[in-house]
Homo-oligomer: A and B are copies of this chain.
Amino acid sequence: MSDISTTIEELKQLIHDFVEERDWEQFHSPKNLTMALAIEAAELMEHFQWIDLDASRAIAADPKKLAGVAEEMADVFAYTLALADVLGIDMADTVRAKMVKNIEKYPADEYRGRYGPEDGQQ
């Protein structure tokens, strides 16, 4: 588990260097990067497109399928960090601030087992 020992900045720097070495900053406008991110998110969805919810959970135990999924997740992560890099956004601060908002918006006692005000559907 290298998630335990790797900082956000280390991965951000890895992406930054890759882009800089190829002189690709010219393509990496925020508009283009959000498109790239949405496209990778769609490629990730493709792995789950025709299966039901249980089958999607079972992928966790299928190393071959999991590897394909993980690779798309890497692309999503990399473009998110590339965008953060271009815009000068600190992801750790941003995620923490959003989770504070979410904790206020969805009090645990009120939303336990329900996703929205009206429903508790799966």
Q: Which residues of A contact B (CB under 8 A)?
A: 1-12, 14-15, 18, 21-24, 26-27, 29-32, 34-39, 41-57, 59-60, 66, 69-71, 73-78, 80, 83-84, 86-99, 102-103, 106, 108, 111-113, 115-116, 121-122
CA distance A34 to B113 in the complex (A): 20
| Candidate in A27, A69, A93 with the most chain B CB atoms within 10 angstroms | A27
Interface pair A98/B113, CB less than 8 Å apart: no
Interface pair A14/B113, CB less than 8 Å apart: no
Interface pair A112/B23, CB less than 8 Å apart: yes
CA distance A40 to B75 in the complex (A): 16
Interface pair B115/A1, CB less than 8 Å apart: no
CA distance A41 to B44 in the complex (A): 12
Distance (whole angstroms) from the CB of A44 to the closest CB of chain B: 5
Question: Which residues of chain B are near A57, meaning CB under 8 Å?
Answer: 29-30, 86
From A113, which residue of chain B is reached at the shortest CB distance? B23
Interface pair B7/A50, CB less than 8 Å apart: no
